[in-house]
Structure 1
Amino acid sequence: MYLENVVIDAVDPGRLGRFWEAVVGGERLTDEPEGYETRLAVEGGPVLDLCFQRVSEPPTEPPRLHLDLLGGARQEEEVDRLLGLGARRLDIGQGDVPSVVLADPEGNPCCVMEDRAAYADTGPVAALPLDSADPDRDAEFWSWLTGWTDVPGAGLRSLRHPSLRGPLLELCPEKVPKGPSKNRLHLDVRLETGEDPDGVAASIAERGGRELHFGWGELPWRHYADPSGNEFCVLPAPAS
């Protein structure tokens, strides 16, 4: 399996997708009324698609997954660029921190990060912070799920693509447990050719995850929650 998508719920997928495409310098894949996709390819590293799917109402609960953007020595310039694209400054009670917290056009928080050695070779997205009830446990789960490996010295328990390029997946100690509402952002992994979907489902359960059934009809992918309750999807292997 490998990590393929970062999926973001959007009232207006086209508007939000075009914003993030400009932020990361993505390559447009799909522009449809119900969904928008743009591709972030990190040279020598992972390829991640940012997928924006239509929802009827904006989310109300704080996100458990968000995007941290590379700022570094150009942090102020990057903040100004994002504000020009349609972001706004956001106060989430962060206090005096070296990162700058912004909101995208639909209110999703994102951070423009200060210079950190751990962010070398990440590309425009420095990290994908994910709330976790047990970061050590969940790091093992997501490492098995994606093939990403531990990043020593990153501060938070973090994983990275085996190339050691691209964003970090950071497991952040949660402030409150996962509620019943679906996360507004989630991750998708895709099966490799020959991997058995039922065997993967059994392995997810053995590692503390569980399969979810939303009653949305027959779909080609399957829905799961990680041990902390964060939703993710397992997509079928690519057609040969």
Structure 2
Amino acid sequence: MGGVTLRPVQVNIKASSDAALGRFWAGALGWVVDDSEPGVTSVVPADASWPVPDTLTIDLVPVPDLEAVRTRLHLELATTSGDHHSELLARVQGLGATVVGTTDDGCRTVLADPEGGAFCVLAPQDHDRTGPIAALVVECADPQVLAAFWSDALGWVVAESGERVLLRASTGAGPCLELVGSSHLPATLASHAHVDLLPDPVDAKPAEVARLLELGAANADVGQGDVPWAVMADPEGNEFCVLGRP
């Protein structure tokens, strides 16, 4: 794993209105909107330079038909106390989110953002050094097999293993990648997100794409055309991108 140069740097969320959904996520996370790049609205911590260490920023990208976008990845937000949990739930609802329900174990509140996209707010617990985004949750048929792919792809370590598998960066900082075999989202609730990976250095993109193909990923064609990033799918078909030099 010493040669691994990839790390997750942002979550790409498709939107009907990237500006409006960007304002929602900025308010939810306490971050700011950056709309300086045409065709995308970014949400980033204030005064931060991208890529932000140990943090996933958010890119909102407009699409003409949001109903056609369905993924198996959603965000889960951290809370650290009862007061923080209550405040965050009130804040996101004030921004336009809707509570869909609570999981049977009481560990998470399931919500829909103003455009119907799924996310969760976790019950208060020790989200050690995750930041406000506690986890990226991916629903899959076989968490153990998919964890092996992502562990090799990112050089991350298995922090928990069982019915779900939790992967973390070896630094122990930043959001986790959680692979679950059974969904805690209702079937009517859609996800519109995928993760973007950045090689270091960025010119290592061709080598990293080749390495991912050897690990079991596949190239994907979503009509992206000639772009500086590579669109790929993991062994279960979950879309992700490997970024290149603009």
TM-score (norm 1): 0.83
In the aligned structure 2, how far is the partner of 1:6 from the partner of 1:185? 7
Kindly report which structure 2 residues correspond to 1:69-148, keeping only aligned pairs within 5 A, or say none.
Answer: 69-73=77-81, 74=83, 75-91=85-101, 94=103, 97-117=106-126, 119-148=127-156
In the aligned structure 1, how far is the partner of 2:214 from the partner of 2:138? 21
In the aligned structure 2, how far is the partner of 1:90 from the partner of 1:100? 8
1:19 partnered with 2:29: no
User: How large is the Cα RMSD of the aligned pairs?
Assistant: 2.8
Q: Percent identity?
A: 33
* 1:209–1:227 CA contact under 8 A, matched in 2: yes
In the aligned structure 2, how far is the partner of 1:207 from the partner of 1:142? 9
The change in CA–CA distance for 1:194 and 1:5 in structure 2 (over 3 A counts) is closer
Offset from partner CA, 1:103-122 (integer Å, 9 cap, x none): 111111211111334x2222
The alignment of Structure 1 onto Structure 2 pairs a total of residues equal to 228
* 1:63–1:108 CA contact under 8 A, matched in 2: no
In the aligned structure 2, how far is the partner of 1:51 from the partner of 1:32? 10
* 2:24–2:95 CA contact under 8 A, matched in 1: yes
* 1:59–1:184 CA contact under 8 A, matched in 2: no
In the aligned structure 2, how far is the partner of 1:194 from the partner of 1:188? 13
The change in CA–CA distance for 1:29 and 1:147 in structure 2 (over 3 A counts) is farther
SS in 2 for 1:47: coil
Q: Which runs of 5+ in 2 are unaligned?
A: 1-5, 184-190
* 2:229–2:242 CA contact under 8 A, matched in 1: yes
What is aligned with 2:211?
203
In the aligned structure 2, how far is the partner of 1:154 from the partner of 1:45? 29
What is aligned with 1:180?
none
The change in CA–CA distance for 1:60 and 1:124 in structure 2 (over 3 A counts) is same
* 2:22–2:33 CA contact under 8 A, matched in 1: no
The change in CA–CA distance for 1:154 and 1:30 in structure 2 (over 3 A counts) is farther
The change in CA–CA distance for 1:113 and 1:216 in structure 2 (over 3 A counts) is closer
What is aligned with 2:221?
213
Q: Which runs of 5+ in 1 are unaligned?
A: 176-182
TM-score (norm 2): 0.81
